[in-house]
Structure 1
Amino acid sequence: MPILDVVDAEAGGDVGRVVVAGFDPPPGRSVADQARYLRDEADGLRRALIAAPYGEPSQSINLVVPALTPEADVGLIITGTMGYPGFSGSNAMCTVAALIDRGIIDPADGVLRLETPAGITPVDVHVAGAALSVSYPAPVAYAEPGQRIAEVPGWGRVAYTLAYSGTCYVVVDSADVGLRPTAAAVPEIRRLFDALLDTIGPEVRLDHPDLGVLAELRLGLLADSTVAVDPTTPETPCPVAVYMAGGVICEGPTGTGTSALLAWLAGLGRIGPGTRLLTTAPSGNSFTGEYTDDTMVGPYPAARTRVTGRPRLLGRTTIDLRTDG
């Protein structure tokens, strides 16, 4: 195992560890191929970095690789307890902060084209003094029409919806389970999604019209379907809680969680294009999500969204994995 050059950053409250050097890019003709190779053939680096003594399950890992598509500037493989998602907004933001810190990109360029397993995302970068703002058009998001039902021990019948926003979410309406996404409710939220994902098991997966059957469900989103958009404010507050398999409740609303929320609410007819939400995690950390336009994913109504956040640098470190063989 290698010696890794790592930059730690934070976006929306969640820590992303960005590995900028020290490992060989995996084989593959695209970043998507490389992520699949790591998932299926070489998962040791992920497992090492999300466990003691090198890390913890709440931290995501971002592997910076050369772009393999001519239209992209940099490649990014995202991983962690959630597996190898196609995209992650907070991790894309953390990676931008790390690349600026290492001088790999110049913020004056204004736009960074990231190649992730979900495709190429043009990330808008704005610097004002020491403050960094990052905004990006998210992968097209949609929610399955209707609800699925699971008989969950300790909870009874739980209705849920599968949504895609660059990765897959199990979305639960807080009103249906009598559980609000607040700090005081975090232990119960964790208990709910632990039990729900265990009940669903690996058999239930999202069948994406373009991408096919996707990976095992490992992310949950608790949100309120009755959110009322306030036309007098530029951003309507919307509390959410994001769960990652392994009992992690994210410190932030996450970028993909924000996009999944917008698609879910759009599918319910609660919001329309032009809606801006301030998604806020139980910790109080927030992102801004905008529903920019309607589109389709196969036969399903879908949403184009944009997410904005303010990543910041936390520190730099070297991780020596050589003694792990």
Structure 2
Amino acid sequence: MARDDAPAGRISLDVVEAQAGGDIGRVVMSGVAGLPGGSVAECAQFLQHDADGLRRCFISAPHGTPSHCLNLIVPPSDERADVGLIIMGTMGYPGFSGSNAMCAVAALAEAGRLPTTEDEQRLVLETPAGLSTLDVGCRAARVETVTYEAVPGFVATGERRLDVEGWGTVPVELVYGGTSYVVVRGAEVGIDPATTTIESLNHFCGALLASLDPAWRIHHPLLGDLPPPALVLLAGELESSAVKGVHVPLAVYMHPGVICRGPTGTGTTALLAYLTKRGELPPGTTVRTLSPFGNAFEGTLLGGARIGDFTGVRTAIRGHPRVLARSQVFLDDETFSGDEQGFRRLFDTPSGERSPI
């Protein structure tokens, strides 16, 4: 950890800020060293239960905002992986995030940890959701495109009808796309995600999540019971045009109170799983997902997948990440005031514990 570079009494974190699909991902490259051993998933569980102060610090003033996510580069435990990645945000600790994985790749290239030759590079990430393979295209010594094969997505429940205050009965489904989504068809509630105001989208999605039974969640065959969903995907209609190709407008809500600026990678996978289950998407189709802010990802339906007893989909997601800034973030005694010991432990490296990558 870069203690020598920090003012007296402060801790210094090396942070790269990047964007993918319009969403900001801040990537901690060094400075966090006190994670226990074990898998990346176990490290994420430690952060969630014993050191959540790091996440909270970066999603609130003065160090961050609720719309920004934090990504922690850690050593992988799986020998097949090149890098470990833990993702944190307002929604908690998702198992995977496509936009944040892209931001992490761009940050690794910025820090000189990933070659930026014209030849396409292949990188394997270990995340709490498992391994993800990313193909990285570079030009002029910078990352231009990232395409990854997502963890398999699937529709986890049948349709359920919720009584949503102010909206009546709303049909929803739970869908896994790397994290849990409550998926709603915009046409079912008279909302077009392409034209509805951000304030109205926030109001509807917040009311929808407030109506959920906390016990209603996804049981993943490999990962077990997932946390209650904190994300809503409001899907528009599948359309096709000469200019945009096959595309779907959508809005992703991140509880509490954030409409994502991008369509998100996991949201794109969840959408493709949802449309496939309804028989609306043949294999091989590439769909452009468009957020209310005009930002886009491309998702390709590669084929079917089997996840325990679930029939799901394999997808490839493509985006264009870009590094925005690199900085040192200083944390001082006020940051630690009253917080748990686990948070303090992150900035010490006792003998035998894993060091930063």
Unaligned runs of 5+ in 2: 1-9, 337-357
Name the amino acid aligned to 2:85.
L
Does the 8 A contact of 2:12 with 2:31 survive in 1?
yes
Q: How far is 1:145 from its partner?
A: 4.9
Deviates more, 1:69-78 or 1:194-203: 194-203
Name the structure 1 match of 2:355: none
User: Aligned ranges for residues 4-153 of structure 1 at < 5 Å?
Assistant: 4-108=13-117, 110-129=121-140, 130=142, 132-153=144-165
Name the amino acid aligned to 2:186.
S
- Match of 1:99, SS state, is helix
Name the structure 2 match of 1:217: 229
Deviations 1:173-208 (A, max 9, x none): 001010011254321111111111111142221112
User: How many matched pairs?
Assistant: 323
> Structure 1 vs Structure 2: percent identity of aligned residues?
46
TM-score by length of 1: 0.95
Distance 1:233 1:304, change over 3 A: farther
Unaligned runs of 5+ in 1: none
Given candidates 270, 280, 283, the residue that maps to 2:293 is 283
Q: Whole-Å Cα distance in 2 between the matches of residues 107 and 216 of structure 1?
A: 39
- Match of 1:200, SS state, is coil
Does the 8 A contact of 1:115 with 1:121 survive in 2?
yes
Does the 8 A contact of 1:2 with 1:23 survive in 2?
no
Name the amino acid aligned to 1:128.
R
Deviations 1:292-320 (A, max 9, x none): 01122222220000000000010011111
Q: How far is 1:72 from its partner?
A: 0.8
Deviates more, 1:165-174 or 1:127-136: 127-136
- Match of 2:78, SS state, is coil
Name the amino acid aligned to 1:176.
E
Q: Is 1:174–2:216 an aligned residue pair?
A: no
Q: Whole-Å Cα distance in 2 between the matches of residues 235 and 134 of structure 1?
A: 20
Deviates more, 1:61-70 or 1:21-30: 21-30
Does the 8 A contact of 1:229 with 1:271 survive in 2?
no
Distance 1:28 1:202, change over 3 A: farther
Given candidates 286, 310, 313, the residue that maps to 1:300 is 310
Q: Whole-Å Cα distance in 2 between the matches of residues 43 and 110 of structure 1?
A: 34
Report the RMSD for the aligned CA atoms in angstroms: 1.6
Q: How far is 1:163 from its partner?
A: 0.4
Q: Whole-Å Cα distance in 1 between the matches of residues 295 and 34 of structure 2?
A: 33
Q: Whole-Å Cα distance in 2 between the matches of residues 134 and 273 of structure 1?
A: 21
Q: Is 1:309–2:334 an aligned residue pair?
A: no
Q: Whole-Å Cα distance in 1 between the matches of residues 13 and 97 of structure 2?
A: 22
